[in-house]
Amino acid sequence: MNSRGVSRSRSRFRPRLAIAAGAVLASMAAGAPAGAQSGGPTPVASSTVVRRSVAEGRSFVGSVMPVRQSTVGSTVEERVAAFLVEEGQRVEQGQPLVQLRTKTLEIELAGAKAELEALRQELAELENGTRPEEIKRGEAELARAAALRDYAQAARRRFEDLTRRSQASPQELDEAISNAEAAAQAYNAARAALDLLIAGPRAEQVARARAKVSAQEEVVRRLEDRLAEHTIVAPFTGYVAAEHTEVGQWLGQGDPVVELVELDEVDVAINVIEDDIRYIHAGTPARVEVGALPEEAFTGAVAIIVPKADLRSRTFPVKVRLPNDASEGDPLLKAGMLARVTLPVGPEHDSLLVLKDALVLGGAEPIVWVIDGASGDPAAGTVRPVPVTLGVAEGALIEVIGPLEAGAQIVVQGNERLKPGQEVQVIRTVDPGADTVASSRTIAR
C-alpha cells in the first residue's frame, strides 16, 4: 500500500477478453446449444454476490493529468552539441537529454588537474621531510667549510707574524683577516643549513602547502561541476512530451530544452460541487472510466483535495490517483484523456457488490457470468451472462445494478471465453472479502 492508500496490485482491474454482452444475449436468443464443448467442463474460480451498505455514487467528468511535469532548462550558456532523446521516448531519472559543447572546459579542467598534481607532489615532499642523502651532503658541505675556515685562520696567523717582522705588508694582513672572517661565516652558514636539513620543514610550510592543495581541489571541483552542467539530464523518470531545441542551437541560461511528464502514476483532475465535497476525503475509493479505453476500467483513490473553491462555479479541485500500466513500453493512460470518475457521495443504501474480476468489459454494457448449479454437484453447473450497471468501488469490490441476487455464484477467473450454457467446474472459491484475486492464468486449462 503506497502513501496515498492506493494499492498498485488491486487499484486497476483487467477487462476480460470475452464476447460482447449484446452478442452473448443474441446467441442465447438464437438457441445456441448449451454446454457445446469437446474437452469437458471448463475449470473456473467462483465467488459470490454480496449485499452491503454503500454510499450513493455520483459521476464527475475530468481529465487524465501527469503526476509531475517539468520544462527542463539549461543552467549554462552554450551551443547544443547533441540532442539525445526523441518526443514520446521514456527516460529514466539521471538519463542525459542534451549534450552541450564542452571542449573549452575540458582543456581548463585538464590544466587545473595538472596544477593540482604538482601541488600535491610539493606537499608530499614537505611531509616526507629531508632525505638522508641531503643530510649527508649538508654534512660534507659543513666539513668543507670547516676546512676552509681552518686554512683561512692559519693564513691569518701567519700574516700577522710576518707583519710583526715587517716581512708582509698591512694590505696582505687585511686580506688574510678578511678571508678568515669570510671562511668563518661560510662555516656558520653550512652549520645552519645542516641544522635545517636535520630539523626538516616547518609546520607552517606544510600547512601552507596543504592549503594550496585544498584551494586547487576546489578549482577542479568547480570546473567538474560546470562540465556536468553541460550535460542536461532528466530530473525524474518520465516521457519526453516536447522538444524545445536542436543540435547547433545556442542556449542561454534558463532556456527550455524538453518538456518531461511522469506517467507511471496519473491523476484524474475533477471538480466536485460544494454539496458533495463533504463526503470526500483523502483515500476515498473511486471508479474511473476512460472513453478512449472502453475495454478497460480502473479504480484508484482520492489523493488531493484543494480546500479552496472556484468562486464562479463553487467547485473544489480534486485529484484521483491511479497507477498506469506501461508494460509494453507505452503508457496506457495518456495525459489529456477524458475520464469519468464515480465517487461515493450522499446517504448510504443497500446494494449488491461483486469482485472486480467478475466483470467482463468491452461490450455494450458490462456482464457477470452467473453459475447455475447442477443437481447433485455443487461444484458444477452451467453459466449465463447477466448485464449490469456499475456503481461505486469499495476496496476489491464494485457495486453492480442488475438482475442479480445476494449469494449467487459467479465466475471470477476463467471467464474470458465463456459461452451461454457452457458447462463449468468450480475448482476454487474466492472469498469476496479478499483484497486481490489471482490472475486467471492460474486456472488449469
CA–CA separation, 113 and 96 (whole Å): 25
As a whole-number percent, the residues of the chain with pLDDT over 70 amount to 87
* Interval 239-244 mean pLDDT: 95
Q: What is the pTM (predicted TM-score) of this model?
A: 0.64
CA–CA separation, 84 and 273 (whole Å): 45
* Interval 88-101 mean pLDDT: 95
pLDDT value at position 136? 85
User: Is residue 404 within 8 Å of 388, Cβ to Cβ?
Assistant: yes
Q: pLDDT tens across 45-57, in order?
A: 999 999 988 888 8
Quickly tell me which residue has 562540465 as its cell: 227
pLDDT value at position 66? 96
Parallel/antiparallel/unpaired status of strands 423-429 and 42-48:
parallel
Here the cell at position 30 is 438464437
Q: How confident is the model at residue 36 (pLDDT cuts 50, 70, 90)?
A: very low
User: Is residue 348 within 8 Å of 54, Cβ to Cβ?
Assistant: yes
Contacts of 199 (CB under 8 A, 6+ apart): none
Supply angle C-alpha 20, 21, 27, rounded to 5: 95
Q: Which helix (H) or strand (E) holds 22?
A: helix 21-29
Q: Where do the domains of the chain lie, and which CATH numbers do they carry?
A: 12-68+262-438 (2.40.30.170), 70-100+230-260 (2.40.50.100), 108-225 (no CATH)
